[in-house]
Structure 1
Amino acid sequence: FDINEAAVGFHALEFLIWGENRDRLSPRPFSDFQAITVLPADAEARGLALDELSNNRRRVMLVLSTEILNQDFESFMALWAAQSNDFRVRLENAASPYLLGDLLTALTSVLIEDVLARSLYPMLNGDFTDSFPSIFSHSSQNVASAQLFGLEQLLLETSTESMTLDEILSNLSGDYAEYFFQNFDASKECLVLLFSTQDASPIPTSAAEAEFTVVECINQLTNMIDYVEQVQSRLIGPV
């Protein structure tokens, strides 16, 4: 199972359903997927069969892509089921500082790899197409919100009466306690605004304004990463 292939499958579905709109704004018409059961005269003159018409080919492609994605998810679930018990045992036996270090590494990895490296850095270089997680369906702002909401849950929620991860980190670092969520809230607002205003078109209406917003988002995210890495360095040495 390759998670990157599964991600490509999602983008293929997204492009199939919403893509190829010439104005990049309006949704793809449902008529593109309606079955054609009578061969038009012009298609017949070109020697085409019913199953070779664009609408019918598109319908088959949609079904096949969905089936492949379902198979990918089934493979992922099988892999997780086979390894989840060993993973739980490793977590239960890990020393607290190292377990906390793993959590902090996971947190910074999301910010660095999923947000900075895949979206903001390419955008800073003028790439306003591949930088958006969901450019065809115009829902990149929802992806950004979901990523940050997941981090917020990791930090603030607990299923027991014990301390939250945020409380632990706040006790370990005064800078984290004072500044992390200030930057977190500002980053969330900045990313959602950036994606929602630029997602409708691959070319920003004002390149200078877009660049300023991108730099602002990068600064806030790197501040968050710095505060987390300060805590991490105190636990297990320099990052």
Structure 2
Amino acid sequence: MWVAAAVALELSLGLLAATALNRDLPGTKIFAVLILLPYFLPNVVAGHMWALLLDPRLGVINDLLVRIGVLQSYKAWFADPNTALAATILVEAWHGFPFFALLLLAGLKGIPEDLYKAAAVDGAGLAAQLRLITLPMLKTVIAAAVILRVIGLVNSPDLLLILTGGGPGDATQVLSLYAFQTAYKEFNFGYASALSVVMFVTLMIFAAGYIRISRITKGQGDD
């Protein structure tokens, strides 16, 4: 759930941001800097920043939500099993979507503008252009970005470690964090190594399966 939801959100936000940046509208450069800023922050900095923003006593976001009437009282987002995972996924999506935005923007720059003009002449709207031109042309970029991001998320539980430590209970526990805690809290390095091997094999199977499903092969590309 952690990896799938985070990657889906980051891909959606990244595609939206890349499409906006590709239009070269006034203020695009400033917008680009603001979009990329979260990705420049180290995970430790981003984690502690959001821990303060969502703090149940002093958090600015809690204060704003109470003032506009969304919440009746301050909420401990990371201490509630019902909201902890969703809150950490949103933080991760905010931190990681510029990765997709950068790669997808590079892919969009390589799509000939004539394709969109011809589609517009044929009566294709924005949704049709996205479905028939943009996504098929970005298929290779999306596949590579998803694989790289999944590998990064599976192997990097630092945001979860900072925000929740895997809790409350096991609400935000993931395999990589469990392996880390097993090795450096329980000093059970053998079991932690076995967990790491399982993660490695799982990632290899995912990468091979995803590439096969996405049909990113030389022969099919030539077709």
Give the TM-score of the pair, scaled to structure 1: 0.28
Q: Which has the larger radius of gyration?
A: 1
Give the TM-score of the pair, scaled to structure 2: 0.30
